[in-house]
Amino acid sequence: MDGKDNYRVRMDKATFALAGNRATEFPERIRETAERVLSVRSAVREDYANDALFHFERLTVKERKALVEDIIILYEALLFDLGKSDIDFVYIQETES
């Protein structure tokens, strides 16, 4: 693939971090969006003997566009929520060469 992942692989990576949650665990204002993304991921899942693949490439163009928009909405909302939290972030300090 010459270092560039195909659509199936990119969408698998984009939804993987969300897959460990249930829609009910998301803030209420984005719960419906989370449900759509998780439902699509579940619908395109195909189990094989040793693994499972998520066949996002089978989505129509309209479904792909909607999925990408929903993923962006979710990550944007989650980043804003994280920014509002009282967490002290630890940043790696760059060393001068």
Using the 8-state DSSP alphabet, how is residue 93 labeled? P
Domain range enclosing 78: 7-84
Contact between 46 and 57 (Cβ < 8 Å): no
Residue 27, domain member (yes or no): yes
| pLDDT at 2 (0 to 100) | 47
Number of domains in the chain: 1
| pLDDT at 28 (0 to 100) | 87
59-79 average pLDDT score: 93
CA distances from 85 to 17, 65, 71, 81, 82 (A): 20, 31, 21, 7, 5
- Check residues 44 and 80 and name the one with the higher pLDDT: 44
**Comparing C-alpha atoms, which of 65, 66, 64, 46 is closest to residue 55?**
46
Query: What tokens appear for 94 in the block?
Result: 């760059």
| pLDDT at 27 (0 to 100) | 83
Residue 80, domain member (yes or no): yes
Residue 97, domain member (yes or no): no
Please count the helices (runs of H) and the strands (runs of E) in the chain.
Answer: 3, 2
Residue 54, domain member (yes or no): yes
